[in-house]
Structure 1
């Protein structure tokens, strides 16, 4: 195998064919320098790619069509044809076809990821309603991937240059949140998050802030008792397992006072508690990363954007950031594996981390 083929192979599912997914892919991969750092594989069809190329006449997007991975071109974008038939594309419309072909792309991309044909997957947005079928009875990509890779649990982790926010519950109705906040669930998420920060982000002794469920973190039991009966015991157990988890913190004041800047990640109890401040305060474009999988999967932090689909005006920066984050995590996992194969490197890292322990405790005590 030549040196070109040693670059990571990154797959891209096309998402809803009537959304902005394929437009984002074309814009993100049109820069020829992308192939200097990875080998891109788009899971779609030539005809769907060509439809959106016409929407973007000023962008020079060249690609090679393939039907098997032995034909990968390391110096060009590769389009893996998931279907050959003519498909009616109606940008901005919620249709059954949009969900059908989004699922076809996702299924074939995840199979390639599991087989090792690609080293990372960047998923373009799907619509959670029209993709529902016997093959996809999930609330989104995250639970689908959890089931596909047969892992006990995963964590939805939002990543930006200045913050990382993870969730205990994801797409759960507000009425069902509290019943999902258990000590076992919180501990499970903390373990996955802790391991991911080490393995995927190269942080040897990560500091994790845990938010309370109730207003003012329950005010010592006056406004709900989950903090006293669930979260504090979970934090105590976490520390016994050498996980540096702190809290529970009142969610409103926590972000307003910039406390998130003192931690490597924040564990929020539910979707809006974590994502509203993340999308408000994150520097640059946010990325959704699925922590806890044996593979690397990222996506942009937005949806199908039907209102602007097909108009050529979609901003691709979050999608591009998702690709770069996936590459960073692939490289971080490689370094992590290498360090743990080499006892001297691991020992050196432990000495440095232990020397920082007192600083860590002082930083988080205030």
Structure 2
């Protein structure tokens, strides 16, 4: 089966008791959404039919047994399981967590094998997915191991891009986790991603301080002076446009972030609170550093509104089209890297 004009978008269904299935359906309700891609949902025909009926969706599914049988121009559903699933909207359920992992594992296998071009993951519940077989804090860490990559959580929305030195790490451990090795690894990943995934030849990157006011010369901690500053100087000496550390409290409010192609926060909330304040509902979580493209919406399962038909699909749509755009930019980057003399030729 050859697909020349469409991007094959694999979609893991997420927590079935949350809003994932609803926003997937809404994202493809308009037939025009199929012009650039062919979606392949990893779940089951029975399960997705339940959601179609519940939300009164007009989508007609193409039910297939394997992703390589996807029908271009249709919303495809792979039967990862065949049994009926009991859906209780808004309820945390270990069994539902198991189905979320079945979907994710099947979609990841298809991504790894090249059967799908990109992966978009609907929200999971990080608690009910935990088991002896699956012991990861979330998608990013699982995909890094499954795809043998150095992953970085990269939140993107238009020209705003925020990456993290530490992601799902308790705050009390964050500063101890930040080492020279980690900083170099994350900054190298960001710079390469900006070049190959966003088409920015010479990216400018700002790094936010670990401590308030960048430590105030050691008065409020010395990690910025002893670890962050010398490491950034080392990276900068290699010809990279890396700046900081900047005091995080005024960086976004002053609009300084607009002067950079990406901002790297030292820990989770330092980066995600301003990002979601500025771009909530339009933001996308992109996993940089992998040789495959994966995105997801910038929100969670939203149990409180699950099943009510009121979930906003905007971030899911953005996740889908961001994945497509990154895939296309990366294809062009890799092509011209192999054929440098053809760059700029017509």
TM-score when normalising by structure 1: 0.91
Corresponding residue for residue 355 of structure 1: none
The runs of at least 4 aligned residues of structure 1 exceeding 6 Å deviation read none
Corresponding residue for residue 203 of structure 1: 200
Corresponding residue for residue 54 of structure 2: 55
Q: Provide structure 1 residue ranges, at least 5 long, that are not aligned to the other structure.
A: 350-366
Corresponding residue for residue 91 of structure 1: 89
Distance change >3 Å, CA 191–CA 48, structure 1 → 2 = same
Corresponding residue for residue 244 of structure 2: 247
CA contact (8 A) 1:156 1:167 kept: yes
Query: How many angstroms apart in 2 are the aligned matches of 1:325 and 1:246?
Result: 27
Query: How many angstroms apart in 2 are the aligned matches of 1:34 and 1:335?
Result: 23
Q: Secondary structure of the residue that 1:307 maps to in structure 2?
A: helix
> 1:76 deviation in Å?
0.5
TM-score when normalising by structure 2: 0.97
> 1:39 deviation in Å?
1.1
Q: Provide structure 2 residue ranges, at least 5 long, that are not aligned to the other structure.
A: none
Query: How many angstroms apart in 2 are the aligned matches of 1:282 and 1:73?
Result: 34
CA contact (8 A) 2:165 2:266 kept: yes
Q: Secondary structure of the residue that 2:119 maps to in structure 1?
A: strand
Q: Deviations over 1:109-143 (max 9, x none)?
A: 00000000000000000000100012210111000
Corresponding residue for residue 116 of structure 1: 114
Distance change >3 Å, CA 283–CA 56, structure 1 → 2 = closer
Query: How many angstroms apart in 2 are the aligned matches of 1:241 and 1:82?
Result: 48
CA contact (8 A) 2:18 2:302 kept: yes
Q: Secondary structure of the residue that 2:59 maps to in structure 1?
A: coil
> 1:284 deviation in Å?
5.8
> 1:240 deviation in Å?
2.2
Matches within 5 A, 1:182-331: 182-282=179-279, 285-331=282-328
Corresponding residue for residue 102 of structure 1: 100
> 1:164 deviation in Å?
0.4
CA contact (8 A) 2:281 2:298 kept: no
Q: Deviations over 1:174-205 (max 9, x none)?
A: 11111111111111100000000001000000
Q: Give the total of aligned pairs.
A: 345
Query: How many angstroms apart in 1 are the aligned matches of 2:30 and 2:287?
Result: 26
Q: Secondary structure of the residue that 1:130 maps to in structure 2?
A: coil
1:9 equivalent to 2:8? Answer: yes
> 1:244 deviation in Å?
1.1
Choose 252-261 or 62-71, whichever is displaced more: 62-71
1:332 equivalent to 2:329? Answer: yes
> 1:343 deviation in Å?
2.2
1:20 equivalent to 2:19? Answer: yes
Distance change >3 Å, CA 345–CA 265, structure 1 → 2 = farther
CA contact (8 A) 2:5 2:36 kept: no
Superposed CA RMSD in Å reads 1.5
Structure whose residues are more often helix by fraction: 1
Choose 5-14 or 119-128, whichever is displaced more: 5-14
